[in-house]
Chain A
Amino acid sequence: MLLIDCPYCGPRDEAEFACGGEAHIARPLAENPISDAEFGSYLFLRHNPKGLFTERWVHSAGCRRWFNMVRDTLSHEIVEIYPMGSLPKSRRGKQAYADNWRRGTPAEAASKPQAKRGR
């Protein structure tokens, strides 16, 4: 049972929330063609660590706003809660983000506009 500190409403019972699964999965852009296997990795393959995990939550029975969370999947400890569109700031949160196998994959690289990829 989790007590989740909604950034907009304060601490609430987990029953008010829904979990949106792994955070920071960026969709490859159409302008950056990639293989079926790489698109499949974006669409289906999931980071599923035993330990720290970055995930999305929504306060569905409250303010209905989304936010990100760093949580330990073994102890259920909530390490950090941070807004959508940003990255974790705590040391362990940054580590959890960096440890995801998805970092640096072709599918993730393809989520950035070509102009910014320095080609």
Chain B
Amino acid sequence: MASSELDRGIKGLAGRAKRYSVFALARNASRYHQGWQQAWRHAEPKKSYDVIIIGGGGHGLATAYYLASVHGITNVAVIEKGWLGGGNTGRNTTIIRSNYLWDESAAIYEHAMQLWEGLAQDLNFNIMFSQRGVLTIAHSEHELKEMSRRVHAIRLNGIDSDILGPDEIKKFVPIINIDQTIRYPVMGGFLQKRGGTARHDAVAWGYARAADDLGVDIIQNCEVTGLRRRGRQIVGVETSKGFIGAKKVGCVTAGHSSVLADMAGLRLPIASRPLQALVSEPIKPILDTVIMSNAVHMYISQSDKGEMVLGAGVDKYNSYAQRGSWPVPEHMLAAAVELFPVLSRLRMLRHWGGIVDTCPDASPILSKTDIEGLYFNCGWGTGGFKATPGSGHVFADLIAHDAPNRIAAPYALKRFETGFLIDEHGAAGVAH
């Protein structure tokens, strides 16, 4: 991937924030930890900003950070209706990978992967990025053949990807059951070794701290109730804290994108659906990688705390309720227990749903709109977390230049008029 030309100019902390380091830890330990400063200010809205980002999740905060750090646009506010990172950023299963089928997808997800690899240093924040590998397993002969076609396509894009047989998988993941007589037998799989996980909350906090340090205002508990425009030009947003003026507005609100689009009289191809996940009680380390299954709609990993983190497929009907229906995790757990018999007596501690913005082609929308100065970053559906840095970086570029770069261009809303879709349905694992 030749994305290095876009990487130039990223700088981490420049302002007042004291750097985190092992020395800072020792220094503060000797002072009973009284000396830590607040990670970001609780800002009250100014009258107007150059750019307002609606949505204080990972993608929104990343956008604000790259606007400030790469493009020098620091008169920026991030407006969040709840608390920072409390939506899908805090609800996903933290999986990161870039093994997508199409060139357009490879470009954006690999761009994100390369930013992930240096992100903790960029932000001076431990995001607990762990490249423990992501293994996607195949349960049928056909799936295995389709998988090998996909692996070759991914490799042609310069992204690491390897096919494994059942015995190699057993060696890699000792707790897996490779008995060929179960409902979803392990026929093979493909592994991206550079894939892995990161601490999702830390990603939001790290971006918030670094953006705040560069002068970005982060305004929580402030709901956007309307988008004000003059003719075809956006002039600001109506919020629960009053009107805030803006030259440009970027909407990064995942499941609520259609609600915001409606305020501007725009239409999106998005359906909002619940996506569910659950975690078990913490146990000793038994799984040091990430396992995914397309056919079952299951993905599993073990957190550093020891909890088994399991994700299911997307629910079948539209909902904004942030809770899903039982048959979806039930189906996933039945298969998980057969594949990993060791899990059968594990108790589940927490179970939740997040509202994801699913697109007809399972690819995101990074786009200008018919309204001058209004931009949308949405449609990430069930797999936005992995793209967080790439999404923010590319979207900041789009807002700063009012024109999409090479990576963003294919993701314009126009594709639902021209028909140039980027069909990633099932193309690279269930957790798109």
B141 contacts chain A at the CB level, 8 A cutoff: no
B269 contact from A37, A45, A53, A71, Cβ within 8 A: A45
| B320-A50 in contact (CB<8A) | yes
The docked-state distance in angstroms from the alpha carbon of A46 to that of B273 is 13
Residues 242-288 of B at the A interface (beta carbon under 8 Å): 256, 258-259, 262, 267-272
Chain B neighbourhood of A18, CB < 8 A: 316
B344 part of interface (Cβ distance < 8 Å) = no
Interface presence of B231 (CB below 8 A): no
Nearest to B258 among chain A residues (CB) is: A48
A76 within 8 Å of B by Cβ?
yes
Q: Does B240 contact A (CB under 8 A)?
A: no
Size class of the contact patch on chain A: 20 to 34
Q: Are A46 and B270 in contact (CB under 8 A)?
A: yes
Which residues from B are CB-within-8-Å of A55? 317-318
B319 at the binding interface (Cβ < 8 Å): yes
Check B416 against A45 for contact (C-beta < 8 Å). Answer: yes
**Roughly how many angstroms separate A40 CA and B417 CA in the complex, as a whole number?**
5
Bound together, the chains give a CA A73 to CA B317 distance in angstroms of: 9
Q: Which of A15, A36, A48, A71 contacts B271 (CB 8 A)?
A: A48
Residue in chain B with minimal CB distance to A71: B317
Cβ-based interface call for B327 (8 A): yes
Q: Is the CB of A73 within 8 A of B321?
A: yes
With known contacts A36-B417, A40-B416, A46–B326 Cβ distance under 8 A: no
Which of B256, B271, B319, B416 touches A76 (beta carbons < 8 Å)? B319
Q: Does B418 contact A (CB under 8 A)?
A: yes
Q: Does A111 contact B (CB under 8 A)?
A: no
* Smallest beta-carbon distance A30→chain B, Å: 17
B316 touches A53 (CB 8 A): no
Instruction: Find residues 322-340 in chain B having any chain A CB closer than 8 Å to their own CB.
Output: 325-327
Find out whether the CB atom of B321 lies under 8 angstroms from the CB atom of A46.
Answer: no
Chain B residue total in the interface (Cβ 8 A): 24
User: Are A14 and B325 in contact (CB-based, < 8 A)?
Assistant: yes
**Given that A1-B326, A36-B418, A45-B416 are contacting pairs, would A73 and B320 also be in contact in the complex, using a CB cutoff of 8 Å?**
yes
Contacts known (A19-B317, A50-B256, A73-B318); A2 close to B270, Cβ less than 8 A: no
A93 CA / B316 CA spacing, docked (Å): 21
Encode contact with B along A1-34: 1 for CB under 8 Å, 0 otherwise: 1100000000000110011010000000000000
State which of A2, A21, A41, A50 has its C-beta within 8 Å of the C-beta of B267. Answer: A41
CB–CB B360/A44 < 8 A: yes
In the bound assembly, the distance between CA atoms of A40 and B418 in angstroms comes to 8
A86 within 8 A of B: no
Residues of A within 8 A of B272 (CB): 48, 50, 73
A78 to chain B, nearest CB (A): 11
For residue A74, CB closer than 8 A to chain B, the reply is yes
Contacts of B416 in A (CB 8 A): 40, 43-45
| A101-B316 contact in complex given A37-B417, A76-B321, C-beta closer than 8 Å | no
CB contacts (< 8 Å) of A21 on chain B: these are 271, 318
Q: Which of A15, A37, A45, A73 contacts B268 (CB 8 A)?
A: A45
> Which positions 30-88 of chain A face chain B at CB distance < 8 Å?
36-37, 40-41, 43-46, 48-50, 53, 55, 71, 73-76
* Cβ distance B396 to chain A, nearest Cβ, rounded Å: 26
Residues of B within 8 A of A74 (CB): 319-321
A101:B267 contact, CB within 8 angstroms: yes
* B268 CB contacts on chain A under 8 angstroms: 45-46, 48
Which residues of chain A have a CB within 8 Å of any CB of chain B?
1-2, 14-15, 18-19, 21, 36-37, 40-41, 43-46, 48-50, 53, 55, 71, 73-76, 101
A-B contact pairs, 15 of them (CB 8 A): A1-B327, A14-B327, A21-B271, A37-B417, A44-B416, A45-B268, A45-B269, A48-B258, A48-B271, A50-B258, A50-B320, A73-B318, A73-B319, A76-B319, A101-B267
